[in-house]
Amino acid sequence: MITIHSFTFNPVQENTYVLFDETGECVIIDPGMYDSSEQNEFVRFIKDNRLKPVALLNTHCHYDHVFGNRFVYDNWGLKPQFHEGELVVLHAIPGYLPQMGLQYDLSPQPETFLVTGDLVSFGSSRLEVIFAPGHSPGHICFYASKEAFLIGGDVLFYGSIGRTDLPGGNYSQLITSIREGLLVLPEDCKVYPGHGPSTTIGFEKQHNPFLR
């Protein structure tokens, strides 16, 4: 059984997730830790729970979701895994982030790219990759069918959807990704987004104004 622990990190309040099971192995998804206090909080959780990080995953590569990629690599030797379409997004960060007054330690480059249908395994558990572009060109989500939850990144939010006005964004593509990739999941599937509170597929089907 997978346990999910979330942190809210960095100036834009991004959700960072650690998923682990009874073996103690864990995956880190979208590490957003920005300063030393957030880094220390994260390390303390890993140590207190005697976890062994075995994979670093990014739903996409906007700066707030990769702030901690270098930190994770420096501490546990893990290189990020994401969709190849996000490389251009990752490489663009140093060109604009200083203008926002934010610091950024360069992320290591991936050795493995993920595509839809891939399985990410850790301990006795696994996650299925779902390709869901629109918010960014290579956005992916991670679905645990056994436990019925989705780590959704910035695709579907409680009562809302990801923004599409950033470079590489596409509104119609995002809506298609949600309808064809996410709304086909069980209605009780819990969605853990990149910002804000969790929701369910069933709730968003009924109440999300962007999906009516």
pLDDT tens digit sequence for 180-200 = 999 999 999 999 999 999 999
Task: Return d(Cα 10, Cα 91) in angstroms, integer.
Answer: 20
pLDDT of amino acid 212: 84
Which structure tokens are listed for 85? 């379409």
pLDDT of amino acid 111: 93
| Confidence category of residue 16, pLDDT binned at 50, 70, 90 | very high
Which structure tokens are listed for 118? 């891939």
pLDDT digits (tens, 9 = 90+) for 154-169: 999 999 999 999 989 9
Query: If you average pLDDT over residues 93-109, what whole number do you get?
Result: 96
Task: Return d(Cα 191, Cα 208) in angstroms, integer.
Answer: 13
Residue 170 has pLDDT above 90, yes or no: yes
Is the torsion defined by CA of 34, 36, 37, 39 positive or negative? positive
Task: Return d(Cα 39, Cα 9) in angstroms, integer.
Answer: 9
In degrees and rounded to multiples of 5, residue 139 shows phi and psi of -65, 135
Sheet holding 14-20, edge to edge: 3-9, 14-20, 25-29, 52-57, 80-82, 112-113
Of the candidates 144, 134, 201, the one whose C-alpha atom is nearest the C-alpha of residue 166 is: 134
- Pairing mode, strands 160-161 and 119-122: unpaired
**Site of tokens 């309808």:** 179
Query: If you average pLDDT over residues 112-131, what whole number do you get?
Result: 98
Domains of the chain from N-terminus onward = 3-211 (3.60.15.10)
Indicate yes or no: pTM above 0.95. Answer: yes
In degrees and rounded to multiples of 5, residue 131 shows phi and psi of -80, 125
Query: If you average pLDDT over residues 116-121, what whole number do you get?
Result: 97
Looking at this protein, which amino acid is placed at residue 71? Answer: F
Query: If you average pLDDT over residues 51-77, what whole number do you get?
Result: 98
pLDDT of amino acid 18: 98
**Site of tokens 């303390």:** 44
**Site of tokens 């436990």:** 147
| Confidence category of residue 124, pLDDT binned at 50, 70, 90 | very high
| Confidence category of residue 172, pLDDT binned at 50, 70, 90 | very high
Residue 92 has pLDDT above 90, yes or no: yes
